[in-house]
Structure 1
Amino acid sequence: MPTPRRALIVIDVQNEYVTGDLLIEYPDVQTSLSNIGRAIDTARAARIPVVVVQNFAPAGSPVFARGSEGAQLHAVVASRQHDHYVEKDLPSAFTNTDLAGWLAAHEIGTLTVVGYMTHNCDASTIVHALHMGLAVEFLHDATGSVPYENSAGFASAEEIHRVYSVVLQSRFAAVASTQQWVEAVESGGQLERGSIYASNRKARAKSAA
């Protein structure tokens, strides 16, 4: 298989998730931050373009308010160089931005997604990318989730992250660790992709055993 033409997209690695009011709980945020830094360093060494995405809400919003400390990029990203910058205010990094045009102009066929959060902006961007015809990779230890409770029930950060990772691997992205991705980049290879049918067959076989 030919080496994919990748871009690394670093989504919303902002202080709000680390020291602010929307703290990433799973995986451990320091682990994911370290892996995000490693992914950026690997991409730059391999001449893979790096796209940094930053989310803003209006002034006065409880999180990501423009001009607030929480909305600023975390030092892991701010201290490293990037090739393109995208500002957004909706979950998908493609909506009302120039990302699609920039990727097309640079002949990118595979998008590698890291950053926050697994179940919100990451998942939205991944699904959007698939519908645009892009292949997607998702580094599950360079991302993270928070817990939720609302009228539909309660879900821990670990449950949300795990379930979304499984679902993404079934159709939308090749889900892998940062180490697996680094090895694929260095070898010029591709990551394993799943399917809905294979994922369901494996689960049914396990239940029947």
Structure 2
Amino acid sequence: MDPLAPNAALVIIDMQKGMHSPALGRRNNPDAESNIQRLLSAWRQSGRPVVHVRHMSRSPTSVFWPGQTGCEFQAALQPLALEHVLEKNVPDAFIHTGLERWLHTRSIRQLVIVGVITNNSVEATARSGGNLGFDVTVVSDACYTFNQSDLSGRLWPAEDVHALSLSNLAMDYATIVEAGAILTRSREAFREGV
């Protein structure tokens, strides 16, 4: 694992009120939000950049349709005034958002990605980040997903969907770690004045 750069960006994906909708079904990793909060606190303390990504759906039936409370950020993860906020309409946070340019303008090469849904927006964004040459880390216990049926109708538990998605990312696109490892790296870099 590379040392944590002084400008490593924490990218928080789609942590909106709509993610609590019962319509989304059963999820895994009930501690994801608290792990994201711990990481966000560490990033704020160290002065590293934070990017908040908000999904704005193109489907009127979505919990993320503009104007609904589902689009709002969760209370514990509200962006601060100086933190970057971007909106996306597709799973990948790099598509039509200016994220790549925003990162390049600030010479940011290292991304730490957290949020939801593991096998959708997290995976899509991490894949693009890796393909674009960024050093991408996905924090496994700061993400979650939901039960999912495959094309044959078989229901897969959220834990399996999550694990397979992270395994796909680990092959070519991202390093997969737990929040504790990132927090340790952050504290070490902070002590060393990095």
1:133: Cα distance to partner?
0.6
- In structure 2, the partner of 1:47 is 47
Letter paired with 2:177: A
- State the alpha-carbon separation in 2 of the partners of residues 24 and 38 from structure 1: 24
- In structure 2, the partner of 1:154 is 155
Alignment pair present for 1:169 and 2:170: yes
Count of paired positions: 187
Q: Is the 8 A contact 1:11 1:54 kept in 2?
A: yes
Which moved further from structure 2: 77-86 or 46-55? Answer: 77-86
Q: Is the 8 A contact 1:65 1:71 kept in 2?
A: yes
**TM-score, normalised to structure 2's length?**
0.88
**TM-score, normalised to structure 1's length?**
0.82
User: Secondary structure of the equivalent of 1:91?
Assistant: coil
Query: 1:179-194, aligned counterparts within 5 Å?
Result: 179-188=180-189
- In structure 1, the partner of 2:17 is 15
Q: Greater Rg, structure 1 or structure 2?
A: 1
Identity of paired residues, percent? Answer: 25
Query: 1:41-80, aligned counterparts within 5 Å?
Result: 41-58=41-58, 60-78=60-78, 80=80
Say what the alpha-carbon RMSD is for the aligned residues.
2.0
* 1:95-150 deviation line (CA, Å, top 9, x unaligned): 00111111011110110000101100000000100111100011111110101114
Gaps of 5+ in 2: none
Gaps of 5+ in 1: 190-209
1:60: Cα distance to partner?
2.5
- In structure 2, the partner of 1:95 is 95
- State the alpha-carbon separation in 2 of the partners of residues 76 and 172 from structure 1: 29
User: Secondary structure of the equivalent of 1:54?
Assistant: strand
User: Secondary structure of the equivalent of 1:129?
Assistant: helix
User: Secondary structure of the equivalent of 1:21?
Assistant: helix
1:3: Cα distance to partner?
4.5
1:170: Cα distance to partner?
2.7
Alignment pair present for 1:6 and 2:32: no
User: Secondary structure of the equivalent of 1:70?
Assistant: helix
- In structure 1, the partner of 2:34 is 34
- State the alpha-carbon separation in 2 of the partners of residues 20 and 98 from structure 1: 32
- State the alpha-carbon separation in 2 of the partners of residues 81 and 25 from structure 1: 31
1:161: Cα distance to partner?
0.5
Aligned pair in 2 of structure 1 residues 105, 20: CA closer, same or farther (>3 Å)?
farther
List 4+ stretches of structure 1 deviating above 6 A: none
Alignment pair present for 1:119 and 2:123: no
Q: Is the 8 A contact 2:25 2:147 kept in 1?
A: no
- State the alpha-carbon separation in 1 of the partners of residues 32 and 26 from structure 2: 9
Which moved further from structure 2: 58-67 or 3-12? Answer: 58-67
- In structure 1, the partner of 2:107 is 107
Letter paired with 2:48: I
Q: Is the 8 A contact 1:51 1:82 kept in 2?
A: no
